[in-house]
C-alpha cells in the first residue's frame, strides 16, 4: 500500500488516464460502503465464527446456517467501526444454509442494498468481504476480488442437509471464515452469501472455486426467515430424470401430492417451472432448490402433443418435525464436547439484551420474532376497521346469471342462501369441529371458510386459535409477495393472505386435511361499509374449478 502510493508520488500516475483513476476512486468508495456493513460473527466466548452482512438499519443480518448453528441463540458481532454488538438468532434455513440474525442496540446500522442475482453474468467483476481464517479479530474485514466463474450452479448436498442450488461461482478467494459473508457486484449490491468452496486435497483453503447462495433465493426465503421459524425447502412430490432424448420427465410421483391432483403423471415432460425453462435435471433442481415449502408456483408440462399449465402447491422437502429433530441431534453434545459446544436454549447465561428478544418454541428458531410479525400484520388488518366479536354480517347480491344470493355470518352460525337451496352451519363454541360436512358440496367447505374469515377479523390473530405468521408467499393474480398467516382452529388449517401495505385480506384458504384441495376464497372490490373496508366480490375456487363468484350489492355489519 505504502509502496503503491510512493509510486503515485514519483510520477507514473501522470501516465494513467483520468478515467482509470476515477474508476479506481469509485471502486474504493463502493468497497468502503460494502465493508462498513460486513460483520464478523463469533459464538459465545469468542469461539467459532464466520461472517455476515447487515441488510436493514434496525440490524437484520444474513449469514450461513453453518456459521450461526454453532453459536445457538446468542452471538457477538463485530463491526468494522470497532464496536461489538449482541445479536440474536431470528430464523434459519438449514437446507439452504442461510440464517437471519438481528443485531441489537441500534436503529441506524450501516446496510447494503440487495441486488438482482438473475442479472449476474459470467465474466463480470465481483468482490467478497468477510472474515477469512477468522483474521478479523479487530473486526476489519478482508476484501477479495475476482470474476463470476459460473451462474446457476448446482452443488449436491455434501453429506449433510446443505444443498447449494442455483448458486453463483466465483474465483474471488473464498476461504473458511468467509462463510456467511457477502459477495458484491461492482455497484456494491449484495448478490450472494458466500458459503462453500471446493475444498479437497489441497486442504481447507481457496482453490479458486467459491460458491455463493444467490440473493434471489434468499429473497424468496426472507419473509419466512423473519417469521422466526425453522424453514423448509420445497418438493414437488415427484422425482424427475432425463430420458434418452434428453427430456426431463417425471420418473415417480406421489399420489398424495398437489402436483398429482393437478394432473401431473409418470412420464410427463417438465417444460417450465416457476417461470423458468427446464433444460436438464440440474436446471430443475436449481429452480426447486430456490423455492420455499408451501409456495404455489406455475408448472408447464407436456404429454405427447398436449401441454398444460397448472399452479402447484409445493410440499416440504422434509417431513414435519424432521428438520427440528436433525438440528437437535446436531446440538446434542457428543462424547467429546469440544469448544463448539452450543449454547443451551434455556441457559440462563443468555445476555439480558438477548434474553429479551428470545422465546423458545418447537418448530421455531426464535418465536419472539414471530410475535413481532404477528403484531405487524395485525396492525395491517386493523386498517380494515374494528369488528366486534358478536357482530352480525349480512351480505346480499348476486351470482352469475343475475341470480340472487345471500350470506349471513354470526359468532356461531353461517348461512348461505343460493337459488338452489340454503346451507347452514352451527359451530359449537366449546368444541369447534369444522372438518365435518364440508358444504356446500363442490365448494370444498365455503361456509366453514367464511366462518374462519369472520373469526380472524373479530377475534384477531391473537385469539383466532393456533395462528402464527408463516412468511411471504406469491399469490395468483397478485404482483410480488404477500404476507401469509397460518391458523389451526376447529381441526382445519387456515391460510390467510394479506396485502403487505394496505392490510386487505386478498385470499383465504381452508384445508380440511393435508391431502386434499382447500376451499379458496379470493376477496376483491373492497368498499367502505359503516367505516369498515369490506370486499364486495368473492371468487370461490375448489381444485381446478371456480365454484362461484359473488357480487354483493348490500352489506351490513351490525355491531352488538
Partner 1 sequence: MKPKRCQNWWWGVVAVWVLGGLASSLSAQQPLTQLVSQVHPKVVKIYGAGGFRGLEHYQSGILISPEGHVLTVWSYVLDTDNLIVHLADGRRVEAQLLGADPRLEMALLKLPGEGYPHFKLEPVVLEPGAWVLALSNLYGVAVFDEPVSVQHGVVAARVPLRARRGAYDTPYRGPVYILDAIVNNPGAAGGALVDRHGRLVGMIGKELRNSLTNTWVNYAIPIDRLLPTIEQIRQGRYVPPKPEESSQVRNPVTLELLGIVLVPDVLPRTPPFVEEVRPGSPADRAGVLPDDLILFVNDQHLIQSCQALRQQLQKIPRGETIKLTVMRGQELRELVIKTQ
Q: Based on the shown chain and the rule CB under 8 A, indicate whether residue 477 belongs to the binding site for partner 1.
A: no
Q: Based on the shown chain and the rule CB under 8 A, indicate whether residue 200 belongs to the binding site for partner 1.
A: yes
Q: Residue 200 or residue 305: which is nearer to partner 1 going by CB?
A: 200
Query: How distant is the alpha carbon of residue 64 from its chain centre?
Result: 15
Q: Residue 9 or residue 336: which is nearer to partner 1 going by CB?
A: 9
Q: Residue 152 or residue 455: which is nearer to partner 1 going by CB?
A: 152
Q: Based on the shown chain and the rule CB under 8 A, indicate whether residue 282 belongs to the binding site for partner 1.
A: yes
Q: Based on the shown chain and the rule CB under 8 A, indicate whether residue 118 belongs to the binding site for partner 1.
A: no
Q: Provide, rounded to whole angstroms, the least separation between the CB of residue 126 and partner 1.
A: 11
Q: Is 66 one of the annotated active-site residues of the chain?
A: yes
CB 557 within 8 A of CB 544: no
Q: Which residues partner with 82 through β-bridges?
A: none
Q: Residue 288 or residue 458: which is nearer to partner 1 going by CB?
A: 288
Per the structure block, which three cell numbers stand in for 518? 382447500
Q: Based on the shown chain and the rule CB under 8 A, indicate whether residue 147 belongs to the binding site for partner 1.
A: yes
Q: Based on the shown chain and the rule CB under 8 A, indicate whether residue 198 belongs to the binding site for partner 1.
A: yes
Q: Is 525 one of the annotated active-site residues of the chain?
A: no
Q: Residue 97 or residue 483: which is nearer to partner 1 going by CB?
A: 97
Segment lying near partner 1 (by CB under 8 A), choices 120-128, 328-336, 381-389, 396-404: 120-128
Q: Based on the shown chain and the rule CB under 8 A, indicate whether residue 531 belongs to the binding site for partner 1.
A: no
Contact pick of 56, 160, 256, 280 for partner 1 (by CB under 8 A) = 280
Q: Based on the shown chain and the rule CB under 8 A, indicate whether residue 20 belongs to the binding site for partner 1.
A: yes
Per the structure block, which three cell numbers stand in for 500? 403487505
Q: Which residues partner with 394 through β-bridges?
A: 408, 556
What does the H/E/C string look like for 330-382? HHCCCCCCCCCCCCCCCCCCCCHHHHCCCCCCCCECCHHHHHHHHHHHHHHHH
Q: Based on the shown chain and the rule CB under 8 A, indicate whether residue 121 belongs to the binding site for partner 1.
A: yes
User: DSSP letter string over 468-526?
Assistant: EEEEEEEETTEEEEEEEEEEEETTEEEEEEE-TTT--EEEEEEESSTTSPPEEEEEEEE
* Catalytic residue (one of 51, 63, 66, 171): 66
Q: Based on the shown chain and the rule CB under 8 A, indicate whether residue 119 belongs to the binding site for partner 1.
A: no
Q: Based on the shown chain and the rule CB under 8 A, indicate whether residue 178 belongs to the binding site for partner 1.
A: no
Q: Provide, rounded to whole angstroms, the least separation between the CB of residue 186 and partner 1.
A: 6
Q: Based on the shown chain and the rule CB under 8 A, indicate whether residue 331 belongs to the binding site for partner 1.
A: no
Q: Based on the shown chain and the rule CB under 8 A, indicate whether residue 63 belongs to the binding site for partner 1.
A: no
CB 139 within 8 A of CB 154: no
Taking CA atoms, 441 is separated from 414, 420, 447, 454, in Å, by: 15, 12, 10, 21
Q: Which residues partner with 399 through β-bridges?
A: 403
Q: Provide, rounded to whole angstroms, the least separation between the CB of residue 121 and partner 1.
A: 5
Q: Is 97 one of the annotated active-site residues of the chain?
A: yes
Backbone phi, psi, residue 310, to 5°: -130, 165
Q: Based on the shown chain and the rule CB under 8 A, indicate whether residue 244 belongs to the binding site for partner 1.
A: no
Taking CA atoms, 167 is separated from 121, 162, 202, 287, 397, in Å, by: 12, 12, 23, 11, 52
Q: Residue 16 or residue 311: which is nearer to partner 1 going by CB?
A: 16
* Catalytic residue (one of 51, 179, 214, 227): 179
Per the structure block, which three cell numbers stand in for 327? 438440528
Q: Based on the shown chain and the rule CB under 8 A, indicate whether residue 152 belongs to the binding site for partner 1.
A: yes
For 210, other C-beta atoms within 10 Å of its C-beta total 28
Q: Which residues partner with 418 through β-bridges?
A: 421
Contact pick of 160, 256, 279, 340 for partner 1 (by CB under 8 A) = 279
Report helix, strand or coil for 26: helix
Per the structure block, which three cell numbers stand in for 49? 465464527
Q: Based on the shown chain and the rule CB under 8 A, indicate whether residue 419 belongs to the binding site for partner 1.
A: no
Backbone phi, psi, residue 174, to 5°: -115, 110
- Taking the C-alpha atoms of residue 329 and residue 64, their distance in angstroms, rounded to an integer, is 19
Q: Based on the shown chain and the rule CB under 8 A, indicate whether residue 246 belongs to the binding site for partner 1.
A: yes
Q: Based on the shown chain and the rule CB under 8 A, indicate whether residue 276 belongs to the binding site for partner 1.
A: no
Q: Provide, rounded to whole angstroms, the least separation between the CB of residue 550 and partner 1.
A: 49
Q: Which of 81, 130, 72, 69 is nearest to 106 (CA)?
A: 81
Q: Which residues partner with 498 through β-bridges?
A: 483, 505
Q: Residue 94 or residue 146: which is nearer to partner 1 going by CB?
A: 146
DSSP E strand boundaries for 411-477: 413-418, 421-426, 468-475
Buried b (16+ CB within 10 A) or exposed e, 320-345: eeebbeebeeeeeeeeeeeeebbbee
Q: Based on the shown chain and the rule CB under 8 A, indicate whether residue 357 belongs to the binding site for partner 1.
A: no
* Catalytic residue (one of 93, 97, 232, 483): 97
Q: Based on the shown chain and the rule CB under 8 A, indicate whether residue 24 belongs to the binding site for partner 1.
A: yes
Q: Residue 119 or residue 436: which is nearer to partner 1 going by CB?
A: 119
Segment lying near partner 1 (by CB under 8 A), choices 7-15, 65-73, 215-223, 469-477: 7-15
Taking CA atoms, 233 is separated from 152, 194, 257, 313, in Å, by: 17, 19, 15, 12
Q: Residue 64 or residue 149: which is nearer to partner 1 going by CB?
A: 149
Subset of residues 123 to 142 that bind partner 1, contact rule: CB under 8 A: 123-125
With residue 463 as reference, give the H or E element that holds it: helix 446-464
Q: How many residues bind partner 1 (CB under 8 A)?
A: 42
Q: Based on the shown chain and the rule CB under 8 A, indicate whether residue 206 belongs to the binding site for partner 1.
A: yes
Q: Provide, rounded to whole angstroms, the least separation between the CB of residue 239 and partner 1.
A: 18
Contact pick of 176, 208, 263, 298 for partner 1 (by CB under 8 A) = 208
Q: Based on the shown chain and the rule CB under 8 A, indicate whether residue 323 belongs to the binding site for partner 1.
A: no
Per the structure block, which three cell numbers stand in for 207? 482453490
Q: Provide, rounded to whole angstroms, the least separation between the CB of residue 247 and partner 1.
A: 12
Measured on CA atoms in the order 117, 119, 121, 126, is the torsion positive or negative? negative
Taking CA atoms, 73 is separated from 151, 199, 226, 544, in Å, by: 33, 29, 15, 44
Contact pick of 51, 144, 155, 315 for partner 1 (by CB under 8 A) = 155
Q: Residue 175 or residue 257: which is nearer to partner 1 going by CB?
A: 175
Give catalytic residue positions: 66, 97, 179
Residues of this chain that interact with partner 1 (CB under 8 A) are: 3-4, 6-7, 10, 12, 16-17, 19-21, 23-24, 27, 121-125, 146-150, 152-153, 155, 169, 171, 186, 198, 200-202, 206-209, 246, 279-280, 282
Amino acid at each position: 500500500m505504502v509502496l503503491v502510493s510512493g509510486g503515485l508520488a514519483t510520477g507514473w500516475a501522470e501516465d494513467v488516464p483520468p478515467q482509470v483513476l476515477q474508476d479506481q476512486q469509485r471502486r474504493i468508495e463502493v468497497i468502503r460502503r460494502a465493508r462498513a456493513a460486513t460483520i464478523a460473527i463469533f459464538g459465545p466466548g469468542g469461539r467459532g465464527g464466520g461472517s455476515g452482512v447487515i441488510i436493514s438499519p434496525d440490524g437484520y443480518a444474513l449469514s450461513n446456517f453453518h456459521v450461526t448453528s454453532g453459536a445457538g441463540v446468542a452471538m457477538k458481532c463485530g463491526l468494522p467501526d470497532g464496536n461489538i454488538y449482541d445479536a440474536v438468532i431470528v430464523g434459519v434455513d438449514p437446507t439452504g444454509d442461510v440464517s437471519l440474525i438481528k443485531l441489537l442496540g441500534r436503529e441506524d446500522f450501516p446496510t447494503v442494498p440487495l441486488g438482482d442475482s438473475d442479472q449476474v453474468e459470467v465474466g463480470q467483476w465481483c468482490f467478497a468481504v468477510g472474515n477469512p481464517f477468522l483474521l478479523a479479530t479487530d473486526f476489519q474485514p478482508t476484501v477479495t476480488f475476482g470474476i463470476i466463474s459460473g451462474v446457476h450452479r448446482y452443488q449436491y448436498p455434501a453429506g449433510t442437509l446443505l444443498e447449494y442450488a442455483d448458486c453463483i461461482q466465483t474465483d474471488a478467494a473464498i476461504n473458511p471464515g468467509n462463510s456467511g459473508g457477502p459477495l458484491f457486484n461492482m455497484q456494491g449490491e449484495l448478490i450472494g452469501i458466500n458459503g462453500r468452496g471446493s475444498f479437497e486435497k489441497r486442504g481447507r483453503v481457496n482453490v479458486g472455486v467459491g460458491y455463493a447462495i444467490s440473493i434471489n433465493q434468499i429473497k424468496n426465503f426472507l419473509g419466512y426467515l423473519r417469521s422466526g421459524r425453522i424453514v423448509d425447502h420445497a418438493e414437488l412430490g415427484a422425482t424427475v430424470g432425463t430420458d434418452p432424448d434428453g427430456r426431463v420427465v417425471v420418473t415417480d410421483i406421489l399420489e398424495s401430492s398437489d402436483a398429482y391432483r393437478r394432473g401431473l403423471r409418470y412420464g410427463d415432460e417438465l417444460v417450465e417451472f416457476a417461470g423458468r425453462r427446464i433444460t436438464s435435471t440440474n436446471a430443475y433442481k436449481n429452480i426447486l432448490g430456490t423455492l420455499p415449502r408451501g409456495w404455489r408456483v406455475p408448472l408447464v408440462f407436456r404429454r405427447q402433443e398436449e401441454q398444460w399449465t397448472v399452479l402447484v402447491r409445493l410440499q416440504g422437502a422434509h417431513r414435519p418435525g424432521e428438520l427440528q429433530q436433525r438440528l437437535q441431534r446436531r446440538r446434542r453434545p457428543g462424547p467429546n464436547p469440544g469448544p463448539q459446544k452450543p449454547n443451551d436454549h434455556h441457559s440462563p447465561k443468555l445476555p439480558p439484551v438477548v434474553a429479551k428478544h428470545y422465546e423458545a418454541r418447537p418448530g421455531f428458531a426464535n418465536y419472539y420474532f414471530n410475535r413481532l410479525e404477528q403484531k405487524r400484520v395485525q396492525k395491517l388488518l386493523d386498517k380494515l376497521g374494528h369488528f366486534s366479536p358478536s357482530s352480525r354480517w349480512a351480505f346480499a347480491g348476486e351470482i352469475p346469471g343475475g341470480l340472487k344470493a345471500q350470506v349471513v355470518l354470526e359468532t356461531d352460525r353461517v348461512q348461505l342462501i343460493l337459488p338452489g337451496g340454503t346451507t347452514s352451519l352451527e359451530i359449537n363454541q366449546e368444541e369447534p369441529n369444522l372438518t365435518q360436512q364440508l358444504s356446500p358440496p363442490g365448494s370444498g367447505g365455503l361456509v366453514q371458510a367464511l366462518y374462519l374469515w369472520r373469526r380472524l377479523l373479530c377475534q384477531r390473530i391473537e385469539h383466532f386459535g393456533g395462528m402464527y405468521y408463516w412468511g411471504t408467499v406469491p399469490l395468483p393474480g397478485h404482483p410480488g409477495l404477500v404476507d401469509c398467516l397460518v391458523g389451526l382452529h376447529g381441526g382445519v388449517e387456515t391460510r390467510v393472505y394479506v396485502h403487505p401495505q394496505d392490510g386487505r385480506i386478498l385470499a383465504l384458504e381452508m384445508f380440511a386435511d393435508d391431502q386434499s384441495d382447500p376451499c379458496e376464497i379470493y376477496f376483491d372490490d373492497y368498499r367502505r361499509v359503516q367505516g369498515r373496508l369490506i370486499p364486495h366480490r368473492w371468487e370461490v375456487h375448489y381444485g381446478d374449478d371456480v365454484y362461484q363468484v359473488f357480487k354483493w350489492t348490500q352489506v351490513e355489519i351490525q355491531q352488538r
